[in-house]
Chains A and B, each alone.
Chain A
Amino acid sequence: MYPRAFDYLVPRTREEALEVLAERGSEVKVLAGGQSLIPMMKLRFASPTTLVDINRLPGLDAIDAVNGHVRIQALVRHNDIIRSDVVRAENHLMTSTAPWVADPLVRNRGTVCGSVAHHDPEGDWASVMLALGAEVVAESRDGGTRVIPIEDFLVDMFTTALEPTELLTEIRVPRYERGGGNYQKLERKVGDYATVGVATHLELDEAGVITKAGIALTSVYVRNLKVTEAEALLVGRAPSAELFGEAAAIAAAACDPTSDIRGSAEYKRNIVRVFTERSLAESASIAQGS
């Protein structure tokens, strides 16, 4: 690997890290799992002059359920999600997604928060967080702590609401009682980014009526796409194949995939439809069983 030259800083406390970010600002890149940043530096697509390695910061690797939400801190790796009892007990969509992210080696290093901070429209976690209605927590030396709804956080492809001086410290995912979620992904091989990814999340009331719905798509739009129109359609209705078919059609119409080596736009649109339908059915069946 032959990137351009850079400074490498390893702060030992959060304060120290925020200090560096405040001082060096835009020339700095935070290094979390390095699974997106390092490949870009290797190819010299990105050449930050300073790397702030946050991997040695204490108190940033918790996954827990507190105050009505599941908290995923900045150093939680994709594989930690797979191994986490909390996630398994609390959140179906995240449980279903983690094994689809990258490959086992990348999952050992890459972080959920890093993926969201990176906001590659082909990344899986941003869709998941959109479907779940998560919140992102950012900290800086001078600005203190901000809690940002995920929809506001994800601004555009590779662009987020995070300031260069800010560290993303955690993501908060709302807890639920009667719900289910599921991720469907078409990839050409393990370790491939999604040709199409579909995240769905449903919550039901006692009567089995949908009270909350989340649908978000990966790799078929300039950013991860929350299909609000389809979500709205579902809320207040009872799950049915017909209803999910309608929602799937809305999702297929809402996306705007490009034709490339992974398939034509038409093909991807078809997959969005098929997967949305399948994913909603699966989420509903989980929710009904819970």
Chain B
Amino acid sequence: MTTTEHAPKTSPEVCGVGHSRRRVEDDRFIQGGGNYLDDIELSGMLHMAIVRSPLAHAEILSIDTSQAEAVDGVVAVVTGDLLAQYDLAWMPTLSGDTQAVLATDKVRFQGQEVAAVIATDPYVARDAAELVFVDYEPLPPIVNPQQGLAPDAPIIRTDKEGKTDNIAYTWESGDAQATEAAFARAARVVTLETHYPRSHPSPLETCGVIADVDPITSQATIYMTSQAPHAHRTVFALVAGLPEQNIRIISPDIGGGFGNKVPVYPGYVIATAASLVIGKPVKWIETRTGNLSSTGFARDYHMKGELALDADGRILGLRVDMTSDQGAFYADAQPTKFRAGLFHIVTGSYDYPAAHVSATGVYTNKAPGGVSYRCSFRVTEASYLIERLVQNAAYEIGMDPAEFRMLNFIRPDQFPYRSPTGFVYDSGDYETALRLAMDMVGYEDLRREQEEARREGRLMGIGIASFTEVVGAGPSKDYDILGLKMFDSAELRIHPTGKGILKLGVKTQGQGHETTFAQIVAEELGIPAADIKVVEGDTDNTPYGLGTYGSRSTPTAGAATSVVSRKLREKARKIAAHLLEASEEDLEWEVGKFFVRGSPESSVTIQDCVFAAYTNFPEGMEGGFEDVDYYDPPNMTFPFGSYIVVVDLDPDTGVWKVRRMIAVDDCGVRINPMIVEGQIHGGLTEGFAMSSMQWITYDEDGNCIGSNFMDYLIPTAWETPRFELGETVTPSPHHPIGAKGVGESATVGSPAAYVNAVIDALAHLGVRNIDMPLLPDRVWETIRSHSGAEGEG
């Protein structure tokens, strides 16, 4: 279902923008022909196993490695003390904090890396790892930020000189005074306190590395599950002190990333150090439990939001106070200016003059991370909070939640729109998207059905989320990781026969770059997408870029692809003029060829021009047909959408089932509609997972619950609802082809829709919040605690 018909400009043979081209990478993936990290074998390769802490917080008294070292086949046992001799016991995080590579003084979370065994065989490495004996003196664990902020709390980061509290960062955004004033004027204030629980991106391929440092040449070839190989090369140069020209990071096929493969992990560093010292390749493949319990988690935000409303239901202002649980190290990957990422997009799709956000990051004895599980820098938490808040606001003033949104939406004529926290939204049409979703679901009929159902004692609910995302980091003036500006790049080289290679600074992990980026070239140059090979993930063979996460590849590298293609089109124009013996100004471009204005029969194809670039180029022109572009986006892009979920709820058990899930997305121009829909399906599934079943929690001793797939649940096709997709297209005005990025929209937008639907089923009982995941027992307990207390609804 679409609102706009937009026929592709190119033929199916050329397959430019707008064609649902089949994913070229799938040929190898579905035939088992992928080349993942663990498929790579090097001769003489050693294997590494990591010894992890069983305790959340403890002093390390001693580590006895002697028995492990005595095992046949063990080459070395690495401890923090050993790494310290090379100044490698600690490393920087991508947010400028430090993180222990191997614990020396104390362990700070369960699952923390304490030692590593290097052996000739992966089984031997694991057998020996059981024989590393660590003597711990337990310390009281801190398992939530409230405990961490208590005045007498034990200090977790004793490694930081002079540290007297557990605060990782404080940060604010917006205008506190203007917001106070708005609240002073308010006829009504609506408050929501909610916890967005800790979840984990849990890519099916866990993290891993093969470090291969050549003892003679000092060349370090590092095969690594990396979403950002170039940034990682630079970090390696800084951490390990290796000359950057000697480091080559190769990120092979990646079995899912979702943000989990953005950070540099201790395992990478230990394996590299080991290879450097031993002079042989060292492979480390993380276990599932290692992945879930030690690598980049997501969310874990405790949020309080307040909306000030006037008497007519218009929003006057938003105030948010948020505490983030960072775990033992502040290991988000956040731009320097934005300590809580882009959480200040929390003002959402609504127009009001004042907002203020204050945030405190707290160290706890839990795994570090805070990467974004398919979410651009904490946008998921923000979007969830505002979409839950507006729904509650509607209940409080007795207005329909859809009507409340319509009343407060930013209007199409207000774009570009400056938000009260400083974003400039590029384009949007929120009302149209919500209307479309309402039409698709049959909103008014459902509301009538709901009234009837309530009279009969049946429970059903309708939940809406009209989210606005911010993606495509980002303009160099505001966005960096560890100082590295967040531009991205494309290098395009067309060979004499008219077929070529596109090299990018980003790195696909399932997003289909090999398919879609070739389509952008096809769109711009008229060279069939099938003739373009896309290469990513080898730092020796691709231009610098900051990698793939935060839905940034299309807004940055996609734009660079467009621009570099256009640069080459201009070169082709010169060659065409030479071939046609016409002046450049008299040439017209039509997909794939130049012709002389007024005489379409005198034309040359782009392939003719490319061939001539090698065989017959005009005097004074450089030969060859290649160029590169480093694209610094002028602004972020702001995809949006409206989702509506309908649920039926069994009051006796608390079990709820999704009856319908409507998702209308507007991500600007869709390069490959099929891939866009696939991305949306994935995100809607993840949103369903987080809202219904998925979380990592810790008991009071700091034991991680959720460190395997029996406890950390990933929905299967069986329970995943059927999705009905709709589309509106509001192009980004500043992106060369009007695309906005869509990898994360559905993950960001959908959790609130599911939760709002369940809350909506219970709203008449006065229910306003249940923290995710909405497991049946929580729903049942909530019903029980509200029964008898019929609210207004």
A interface residue numbers (CB < 8 A to B)? 2, 4-5, 43-44, 103, 186, 188-193, 195, 261-264, 267-268, 270-271, 274
Residue among B655, B711, B715 making CB contact with A261, cutoff 8 Å: B711
Whole-angstrom CA separation of A270 from B653 in the bound complex: 8
Whole-angstrom CA separation of A255 from B715 in the bound complex: 29
Decide: A190 and B127 in contact? CB cutoff 8 A.
no
Decide: A5 and B719 in contact? CB cutoff 8 A.
no
Please name the residue on chain B nearest to A196 by beta carbon.
Answer: B653
Decide: B777 and A274 in contact? CB cutoff 8 A.
no
Decide: A271 and B123 in contact? CB cutoff 8 A.
no
* Binary contact readout B675-719 vs A (1 if CB under 8 angstroms, 0 otherwise): 000000000000000000100010000000100101101111011
Whole-angstrom CA separation of A271 from B130 in the bound complex: 42
Number of B interface residues, CB 8 Å? 27
Whole-angstrom CA separation of A103 from B714 in the bound complex: 13
Inside 8 A of A5's CB, which chain B residues have their CB? 123, 127
B122 at the interface (CB under 8 A from A): yes
Residue among A190, A264, A267, A268 making CB contact with B716, cutoff 8 Å: A190
Whole-angstrom CA separation of A128 from B211 in the bound complex: 53
- Rounded to whole Å, the gap between the CB of A184 and the closest CB of chain B is 10
Decide: A263 and B776 in contact? CB cutoff 8 A.
yes
Contact A188:B693 (CB < 8 A) given known A261-B705, A261-B711: yes
Please name the residue on chain B nearest to A263 by beta carbon.
Answer: B777
Decide: B777 and A267 in contact? CB cutoff 8 A.
yes
Please name the residue on chain A nearest to B125 by beta carbon.
Answer: A2
Please name the residue on chain B nearest to A190 by beta carbon.
Answer: B718
B126 at the interface (CB under 8 A from A): yes
Whole-angstrom CA separation of A190 from B705 in the bound complex: 19
Please name the residue on chain B nearest to A3 by beta carbon.
Answer: B123
- Rounded to whole Å, the gap between the CB of B117 and the closest CB of chain A is 12
- Rounded to whole Å, the gap between the CB of A62 and the closest CB of chain B is 30
Inside 8 A of A188's CB, which chain B residues have their CB? 693, 713, 775
Decide: B719 and A2 in contact? CB cutoff 8 A.
no
Whole-angstrom CA separation of A44 from B130 in the bound complex: 10
Whole-angstrom CA separation of A132 from B711 in the bound complex: 31
B771 at the interface (CB under 8 A from A): no
- Rounded to whole Å, the gap between the CB of B277 and the closest CB of chain A is 24
Whole-angstrom CA separation of A267 from B783 in the bound complex: 12
Decide: B716 and A191 in contact? CB cutoff 8 A.
yes
B652 at the interface (CB under 8 A from A): yes
Decide: A103 and B716 in contact? CB cutoff 8 A.
yes
29 A-B Cβ contacts within 8 A? Answer: A2-B122, A2-B123, A2-B126, A5-B123, A5-B127, A43-B708, A103-B718, A186-B653, A186-B655, A186-B776, A188-B713, A189-B693, A189-B713, A189-B714, A190-B716, A190-B719, A191-B716, A192-B710, A192-B713, A195-B776, A261-B697, A262-B775, A263-B775, A264-B781, A268-B777, A270-B652, A270-B780, A271-B653, A274-B652
- Rounded to whole Å, the gap between the CB of B624 and the closest CB of chain A is 51
* Binary contact readout B97-134 vs A (1 if CB under 8 angstroms, 0 otherwise): 00000000000000000000000001100110010000
Inside 8 A of B693's CB, which chain A residues have their CB? 188-189
- Rounded to whole Å, the gap between the CB of A19 and the closest CB of chain B is 29
- Rounded to whole Å, the gap between the CB of A267 and the closest CB of chain B is 4
Decide: A262 and B716 in contact? CB cutoff 8 A.
no
Inside 8 A of B776's CB, which chain A residues have their CB? 186, 195, 263, 267
Whole-angstrom CA separation of A202 from B164 in the bound complex: 67
Whole-angstrom CA separation of A44 from B287 in the bound complex: 13
Whole-angstrom CA separation of A35 from B127 in the bound complex: 23
Please name the residue on chain A nearest to B711 by beta carbon.
Answer: A261
Whole-angstrom CA separation of A268 from B713 in the bound complex: 20
- Rounded to whole Å, the gap between the CB of A126 and the closest CB of chain B is 19
Q: Which 8 A-B pairs have the closest CB atoms?
A: A263-B777, A190-B718, A267-B777, A2-B126, A274-B652, A188-B693, A190-B716, A189-B713
Whole-angstrom CA separation of A190 from B716 in the bound complex: 7
- Rounded to whole Å, the gap between the CB of B559 and the closest CB of chain A is 39
Please name the residue on chain A nearest to B697 by beta carbon.
Answer: A261
Whole-angstrom CA separation of A184 from B484 in the bound complex: 56
Inside 8 A of B127's CB, which chain A residues have their CB? 4-5
- Rounded to whole Å, the gap between the CB of A288 and the closest CB of chain B is 24
Contact A267:B781 (CB < 8 A) given known A188-B713, A261-B711, A274-B653: yes
Inside 8 A of B49's CB, which chain A residues have their CB? 2
Task: Find the residue from A2, A44, A274 having the highest chain B CB count within 10 A.
Answer: A2
Whole-angstrom CA separation of A263 from B718 in the bound complex: 22
Whole-angstrom CA separation of A8 from B655 in the bound complex: 44
Whole-angstrom CA separation of A193 from B781 in the bound complex: 22
Whole-angstrom CA separation of A240 from B536 in the bound complex: 68
Inside 8 A of A192's CB, which chain B residues have their CB? 710, 713
Whole-angstrom CA separation of A193 from B693 in the bound complex: 14
Please name the residue on chain B nearest to A193 by beta carbon.
Answer: B710
Inside 8 A of A261's CB, which chain B residues have their CB? 697, 705, 711
Inside 8 A of B716's CB, which chain A residues have their CB? 103, 189-191
- Rounded to whole Å, the gap between the CB of A230 and the closest CB of chain B is 19
Task: Find the residue from B130, B705, B719 having the highest chain A CB count within 10 A.
Answer: B719
- Rounded to whole Å, the gap between the CB of A123 and the closest CB of chain B is 14
Whole-angstrom CA separation of A195 from B780 in the bound complex: 14
Inside 8 A of B710's CB, which chain A residues have their CB? 192-193
Whole-angstrom CA separation of A262 from B711 in the bound complex: 9
Inside 8 A of B652's CB, which chain A residues have their CB? 270, 274
- Rounded to whole Å, the gap between the CB of B440 and the closest CB of chain A is 27
- Rounded to whole Å, the gap between the CB of B457 and the closest CB of chain A is 15
- Rounded to whole Å, the gap between the CB of A161 and the closest CB of chain B is 28
- Rounded to whole Å, the gap between the CB of A1 and the closest CB of chain B is 10
Please name the residue on chain A nearest to B129 by beta carbon.
Answer: A2
Inside 8 A of B775's CB, which chain A residues have their CB? 188, 262-263
Whole-angstrom CA separation of A177 from B731 in the bound complex: 69
Inside 8 A of A195's CB, which chain B residues have their CB? 776-777
Apart from A262-B775, A267-B777, 10 more pairs, CB < 8 Å: A2-B126, A103-B716, A186-B653, A189-B713, A189-B716, A189-B718, A261-B711, A263-B775, A267-B781, A268-B777
Inside 8 A of A189's CB, which chain B residues have their CB? 693, 713-716, 718-719
Inside 8 A of B697's CB, which chain A residues have their CB? 261
Inside 8 A of B719's CB, which chain A residues have their CB? 189-190
Whole-angstrom CA separation of A190 from B708 in the bound complex: 16
Decide: B777 and A264 in contact? CB cutoff 8 A.
yes
Task: Find the residue from B49, B652, B715 having the highest chain A CB count within 10 A.
Answer: B652
CB under 8 Å from chain A, chain B span 743-793: 775-777, 780-781
- Rounded to whole Å, the gap between the CB of A63 and the closest CB of chain B is 25
CB under 8 Å from chain A, chain B span 714-737: 714-716, 718-719
Whole-angstrom CA separation of A189 from B773 in the bound complex: 13
Please name the residue on chain B nearest to A277 by beta carbon.
Answer: B652
Whole-angstrom CA separation of A44 from B776 in the bound complex: 33
Whole-angstrom CA separation of A267 from B784 in the bound complex: 10
- Rounded to whole Å, the gap between the CB of B88 and the closest CB of chain A is 26
